[in-house]
Amino acid sequence: MKKALTAGLLSAFVAPGSGHFYLKHKRSALVFFSLAVVSLVLLLSQIYQVAQVIALDIQNGILPLDIGVISAEITQQTQTTIANANELLYGFILCWLVALLDSIRLGLKQDKLDTQSNR
């Protein structure tokens, strides 16, 4: 299998930066993987904060133990934080796509060098 295809598949299906790691571009791999992890951690922390607020409201008796009321509160809390969450999600997706395309580009470059050296 060509290096470009392998690197692209690794970046697409394993994690951003895994294709770079396969191609021995470890700094780029670390950068892409770190950006993806940071964006996911920030996204999950926002989700956790919303869950904490709702759980505290239930514990303090502000929200009754009614699934309809709790569902409405989840919807309201989510809509207020969704703009920032979308930015983080888009950042994660953009990081993944750039890592994918860059690993394919680097793989094609290495494939070309390998075919030239085998001549």
Reported as a single tens digit per residue, the pLDDT across 11-26 is: 999 999 999 999 999 9
pTM of the model: 0.77
Q: Helices 3-13 & 67-117, crossing angle to 10 degrees?
A: 170
Over the stretch 31-75, which tens digit does the pLDDT of each residue have?
Answer: 999 999 998 898 888 888 888 988 998 899 888 888 898 888 888
SS3 content of the chain, % helix, strand, coil (to 5): 85, 0, 15
Condensed to tens digits (0 to 9), the pLDDT of residues 87-109 reads 888 889 999 999 999 999 999 99
| Mean of all residue pLDDT scores within the chain | 89
Q: Give the integer Cα–Cα distance in Å for 32 and 98.
A: 9
d(CA 88, CA 44): 10
